């Protein structure tokens, strides 16, 4: 058995590849993008021109990053955030417009639990950069920012332009941009004539077809605790033509006086979530949707989150809550099996 471990701040993916006698070959393409790494496995019955495919993948990832990275000063999202006049029309590229449209849908679907305008709060809490000393913001500082938080303050026109309704609104799509990139690379690979592959970017995954042994892809979810090793698998999910994304608070947080402060913020309060949910994994048709919904459920809490997941077609989820005694409590949607460590999801 060959085990490849892929590291991410929110999801640790362990792809379990069992050697078989099938003639198809598994080929790996890997690299760096969007401040993280990507790993792509393609299965083909004959030798593919990997160099050409890799060039296409890197070009496409560069386009997406140039559109949605808040760390690039002249990126599309940075230029939108820099608009100083309410009512100015910002004509968006296909990438940016599509992601903003899905972002609006997620905002409405989750009653604001997912909100791409919390960047000012992230800056105030210090989660957008590394620094030696963490300081808890004062209540009045947070309250001063809250009126300018809300995706509802952005108008998205069918004529492919965006308009700010408040000058200080700023957008950060980090919680869905990697998922979008996964979906786009999956589409690119399919157009190249490859039907079986696995795309992973920063821990977000889309699995198409089958492995070279003819079986479903297996993706492992890391045990959700700060001291767990990156190869400590908590659940294994079988995937076929599906996406998987996980959000958690166990890697990116800080502690002051014994209290943990998560990087996942509640847009309604401006404070880090503290509802006991430590990990949410979502299986869906697209990685962008799974990515955003996982973050939203972290904010919503176990009961409301599970209710939402169960109301959605072709969506499954696993919510992990840390009990008062430190034990993990699993909440499964209807399609997740409670009887086995190996959770099987697929078409």
Q: For 250-271, what is each residue's pLDDT tens digit?
A: 666 666 776 777 889 999 999 9
Is residue 225 pLDDT above 90, yes or no?
Answer: no
What total of structural domains would you count in the chain? 1
Q: Which residues pair with 30 in a beta bridge?
A: 39
Q: What is the pLDDT of residues 99-154, one digit of tens each?
A: 999 999 999 999 999 999 999 999 888 887 665 567 788 999 999 999 999 999 99
**Residue 158's CATH number:** 1.10.3980.10
Give a yes or no: residue 85 inside a domain. yes
Give the tens place of pLDDT for each residue, 35-50. 899 999 999 865 567 8
Going by C-alpha positions, the residue among 209, 205, 197, 160 that lies closest to residue 179 is: 205
Within a domain: 141: yes
The half-sphere exposure of 235 on its side-chain side, counting CA atoms within 13 A, is 27
CB atoms within 10 A of CB 51: 8
Three-state DSSP at 144 gives helix
- Whether 194 is covered by a domain: the verdict is no
From the number of C-beta atoms within 10 Å of its C-beta (0-12, 13-18, 19+), residue 144 rates as middle
| 304-346: pLDDT as tens digits | 999 999 999 999 999 999 988 889 999 999 887 643 344 444 4
Domain limits for position 117:
74-174
pLDDT of 7-41, one tens digit each?
344 444 444 443 344 457 889 999 999 989 999 99
Is 333 a domain residue?
no
Question: Does residue 335 sit within a domain?
Answer: no
The answer to whether the Cα torsion of 300, 306, 312, 314 is positive or negative is positive
Q: Which residues, at least 6 apart from 77, have a Cβ–Cβ distance to it below 8 Å?
A: 67, 68, 69, 70, 96, 171, 172, 173
In tens, the pLDDT along 168-188 reads 999 999 999 999 999 999 999
Give 212-221 pLDDT, tens digit per residue.
999 999 998 8
152 assigned to some structural domain: yes
Evaluate whether residue 150 is within a structural domain.
yes
Query: What distance separates the 2 farthest-apart alpha carbons in the chain?
Result: 65
Cβ–Cβ < 8 Å for 181, 113? no
Q: Kindly state whether residue 272 falls inside one of the protein's structural domains.
A: no
């Amino acid at each position: 058995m060959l085990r490849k471990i892929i590291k991410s701040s929110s999801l640790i993916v362990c792809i379990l590849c069992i050697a078989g006698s099938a003639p198809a070959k598994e080929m790996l393409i890997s690299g760096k993008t969007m401040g993280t790494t990507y790993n792509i496995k393609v299965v083909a019955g004959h030798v593919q021109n990997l160099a050409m495919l890799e060039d296409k993948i890197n070009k496409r990832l560069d386009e997406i990053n140039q559109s949605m990275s808040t760390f690039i000063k002249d990126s599309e999202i940075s230029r939108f955030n820099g608009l100083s006049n309410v009512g100015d029309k910002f004509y968006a590229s296909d990438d940016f417009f599509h992601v903003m449209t899905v972002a609006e849908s997620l905002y409405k679907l989750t009653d604001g639990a997912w909100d791409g305008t919390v960047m000012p709060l992230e800056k105030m809490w210090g989660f957008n950069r590394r620094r030696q000393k963490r300081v808890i913001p004062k209540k009045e500082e947070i309250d001063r920012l809250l009126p300018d938080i809300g995706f509802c303050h952005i108008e998205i026109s069918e004529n492919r332009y965006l308009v700010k309704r408040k000058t200080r609104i700023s957008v950060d799509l980090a919680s869905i941009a990697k998922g979008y990139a996964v979906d786009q690379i999956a589409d690119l690979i399919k157009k190249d004539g490859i039907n079986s592959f696995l795309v992973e970017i920063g821990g977000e995954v889309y699995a198409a077809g089958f492995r070279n042994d003819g079986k479903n892809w297996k993706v492992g979810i890391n045990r959700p605790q700060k001291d767990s090793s990156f190869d400590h698998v908590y659940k294994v999910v079988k995937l076929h033509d599906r996406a998987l994304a996980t959000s958690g608070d166990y890697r990116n947080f800080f502690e002051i006086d014994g209290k943990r402060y998560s990087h996942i913020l509640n847009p309604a309060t401006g404070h880090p979530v503290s509802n006991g949910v430590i990990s949410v994994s979502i299986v869906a048709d697209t990685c962008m949707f799974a990515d955003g919904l996982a973050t939203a459920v972290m904010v919503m809490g176990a009961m409301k989150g599970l209710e939402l997941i169960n109301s959605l077609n072709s969506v499954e989820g696993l919510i992990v809550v840390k009990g008062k005694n430190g034990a993990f409590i699993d909440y499964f949607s209807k399609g997740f099996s409670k009887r086995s460590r190996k959770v099987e999801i697929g078409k």
